[in-house]
């Protein structure tokens, strides 16, 4: 009886680790990767088989998840200090750092090798570059050293649609660079809005986010600047002939509203207003990016 109970308990514990491993992969980030990668693939001029498309997108998502796991491995000491991250698997004691390291490393290798065999060499190289950049450049080098961490580090998050495009075409051109630029210039205002109302978290963890190093007003100014940079960034795909007037009009309307709420944040000095408006900007920025990429698909259909 005792032996049977021990076997059942062991099996339960082994299965119980799976949800925690999935949490290491940052599912919300993975969902964004899946979507933007799919848009890059679907808007490409070359079509691929349904099976290859699904496998390619899933493998890219697993590669992003691997990078997330390695990020949590390295930042476990910081995660336990921040309210936003203290419930992650390692701070909660559900997994240890070695498990995260082995899982992230293994999944990284498997995803890159799999993408090489399922699609092409270029896509595999881009996925490998994304993982290495996120782990070594952003997580290990930049995040603890400079308030520009999210600006430079944003390049890794901007690559999935480029990989999607390369899965279909085995090439890189101006069109996927348009995808890259949109996510790259969107990232700072998105994360700095978050950092405004989580500034105490970052200060406690010793992470040099802009509100901690340069102050609230400087952060608000930079949020506004990067929101304004979205205007030429949104015009660029139209300028190169990638999209039509419908995309341009709808995207600019969304961008102008983004500029407006960022200006409202910048122009008000009241503390409570800052927090409320920063939360609005953070929430809107997520919907904004999602809709921009939806408009790419709509334009493709039209």
Residue 138, CA distances (Å) to 112, 150, 153, 214, 251 in order: 19, 8, 5, 20, 29
From 116, 141, 171, give the residue that closes a domain. Answer: 171
Question: Same domain, yes or no, for 115 and 36?
Answer: yes
Residue at 56 is within a domain: yes
Taking the C-alpha atoms of residue 282 and residue 289, their distance in angstroms, rounded to an integer, is 11
With a cut of 90, say whether residue 268 has pLDDT above it. no
Question: Same domain, yes or no, for 147 and 45?
Answer: yes
Residue 266 has what pLDDT? 94
With a cut of 60, say whether residue 15 has pLDDT above it. no
Taking the C-alpha atoms of residue 208 and residue 222, their distance in angstroms, rounded to an integer, is 15
Residue at 13 is within a domain: no
3-state secondary structure 76-137: HHHHCCCCCCCCCCCCCCCCCHHHHHHHHHHHHHHHHHHHHHHCCHHHHHHHHHHHHHHHHH
Question: Same domain, yes or no, for 149 and 220?
Answer: no
From 140, 171, 202, give the residue that closes a domain. Answer: 171
Question: Same domain, yes or no, for 34 and 136?
Answer: yes
What are the structure tokens assigned to 280, written together?
């609005």
For residue 283, how many other CB atoms are within 10 A of its CB? Answer: 12
Residue at 33 is within a domain: yes
Residue at 237 is within a domain: yes
What are the structure tokens assigned to 25, written together?
């992969």
Question: Same domain, yes or no, for 107 and 218?
Answer: no
Domain containing residue 294: CATH number: 1.20.120
pLDDT of 167-197, one tens digit each?
Answer: 999 999 999 999 999 999 999 999 999 999 9
Question: Same domain, yes or no, for 51 and 93?
Answer: yes
Question: Same domain, yes or no, for 31 and 157?
Answer: yes
Residue at 12 is within a domain: no
Residue at 7 is within a domain: no
Question: Same domain, yes or no, for 41 and 165?
Answer: yes
Confidence of residue 1 (pLDDT cuts 50, 70, 90): very low
For residue 93, how many other CB atoms are within 10 A of its CB? Answer: 8
Whole-prediction pTM: 0.92
What are the structure tokens assigned to 132, written together?
């290495």
Residue 133 has what pLDDT? 96
Residue 171, CA distances (Å) to 33, 118, 124 in order: 19, 16, 12
For residue 60, how many other CB atoms are within 10 A of its CB? Answer: 32
Residue 26 phi, psi (nearest 5): 55, 75
pLDDT of 51-91, one tens digit each?
Answer: 999 999 999 999 999 999 999 999 999 999 999 899 999 99
What is the distance in angstroms between the CA of the first residue and the CA of the last residue of the chain?
A: 66
Residue 55 in contact with residue 90, Cβ under 8 Å? no
Question: Same domain, yes or no, for 165 and 281?
Answer: no
Residue at 5 is within a domain: no
Q: Give the count of domains, the chain.
A: 2
Residue at 10 is within a domain: no
From 171, 186, 205, give the residue that closes a domain. Answer: 171
Question: Same domain, yes or no, for 120 and 153?
Answer: yes
Taking the C-alpha atoms of residue 36 and residue 89, their distance in angstroms, rounded to an integer, is 27
Instruction: Show the domain range for 207.
Output: 173-302
Domain containing residue 165: CATH number: 1.10.357.140
Question: Same domain, yes or no, for 217 and 228?
Answer: yes
Question: Same domain, yes or no, for 160 and 44?
Answer: yes
């Amino acid at each position: 009886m005792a032996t049977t109970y021990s076997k059942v308990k062991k099996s339960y514990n082994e299965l119980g680790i799976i949800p925690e491993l999935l949490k290491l992969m940052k599912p919300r980030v993975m969902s964004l990767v899946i979507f933007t990668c799919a848009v890059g693939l679907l808007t490409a001029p070359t079509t691929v088989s349904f099976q290859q498309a699904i496998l390619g997108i899933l493998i890219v998502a697993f590669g992003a998840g691997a990078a997330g796991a390695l990020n949590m491995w390295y930042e476990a000491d910081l995660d336990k200090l921040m309210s936003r991250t203290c419930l992650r698997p390692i701070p909660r004691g559900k997994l240890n750092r070695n498990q995260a390291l082995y899982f992230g490393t293994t999944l990284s290798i498997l995803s890159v090798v799999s993408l090489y065999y399922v699609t092409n060499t270029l896509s595999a190289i881009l996925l490998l570059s994304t993982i290495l950049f996120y782990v070594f450049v952003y997580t290990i080098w930049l995040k603890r050293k400079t308030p520009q961490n999210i600006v430079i580090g944003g390049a890794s998050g901007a690559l999935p649609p480029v990989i999607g495009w390369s899965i279909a075409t085995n090439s890189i051109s101006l069109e996927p660079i348009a995808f890259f630029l949109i996510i790259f210039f969107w990232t700072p205002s998105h994360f700095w809005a978050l950092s405004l109302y989580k500034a105490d978290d970052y200060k406690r963890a010793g992470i040099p986010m802009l509100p901690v190093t340069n102050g609230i007003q400087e952060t608000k100014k930079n949020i506004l600047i990067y929101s304004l940079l979205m205007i030429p960034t949104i015009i660029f795909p139209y300028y190169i002939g990638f999209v039509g007037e419908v995309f341009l009009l709808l995207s600019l309307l969304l961008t102008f509203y983004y500029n407006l709420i960022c200006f409202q944040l910048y122009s008000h000095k009241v503390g409570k207003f800052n927090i409320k408006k920063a939360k609005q900007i953070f929430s809107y920025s997520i919907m904004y990016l999602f809709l921009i990429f939806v408009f790419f698909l709509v334009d493709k259909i039209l």
